[in-house]
Structure 1
Amino acid sequence: MAAKRTTTRRTTKTPAPAPADCESCGGTGTVSSTVRVGRKRRTVGRQDGFCLDCFGTGTAASA
């Protein structure tokens, strides 16, 4: 049998930096757009949708 190691290595690892938030959605993963209806195009509300810059993850895409 091989001899057992009696000492342990001590390594100091720095934690990975947190990914930055997406600029378009602010880290939520959804963006909203105004919904307009009628001939005069009046505003009736807002509709949430999938953020196409970060694909819904909320983190900035690395270029």
Structure 2
Amino acid sequence: MATTRKTTRTKKCPDCKGTGEITETVRVGSVRKARETTDRQAALCLTCFGTGRPLT
């Protein structure tokens, strides 16, 4: 008799939704007077380190 194969679902990272990248706001100026601009840049997700799955 053949056994049925169960597929395991991997959980997606809640921060990046499984893509491995997030967007960050660009800040300009010195540390004391840093202001945010309307520009965004891609950054590596620190929750999953770019894998798309939570590490825990």
What TM-score, normalized to structure 2?
Answer: 0.70
Q: Which runs of 5+ in 1 are unaligned?
A: 1-9
> Percent same amino acid among aligned pairs?
42
Q: Residues 32 and 49 of structure 1 are in contact (CA less than 8 Å); yes or no, is this contact kept in structure 2?
A: yes
**What TM-score results when the alignment is normalised by the length of structure 1?**
0.64
Q: Is 1:47 equivalent to 2:41 in the alignment? A: yes
- Following TM superposition, the consecutive aligned residue runs of length 4 or more in structure 1 with deviations greater than 6 angstroms are none
* Unaligned residue ranges in structure 2 (runs of 5+): none
Kindly indicate whether residue 4 of structure 2 is the aligned counterpart of residue 13 of structure 1: yes
Q: How many residues align?
A: 53
Backbone CA RMSD of aligned residues: 1.9
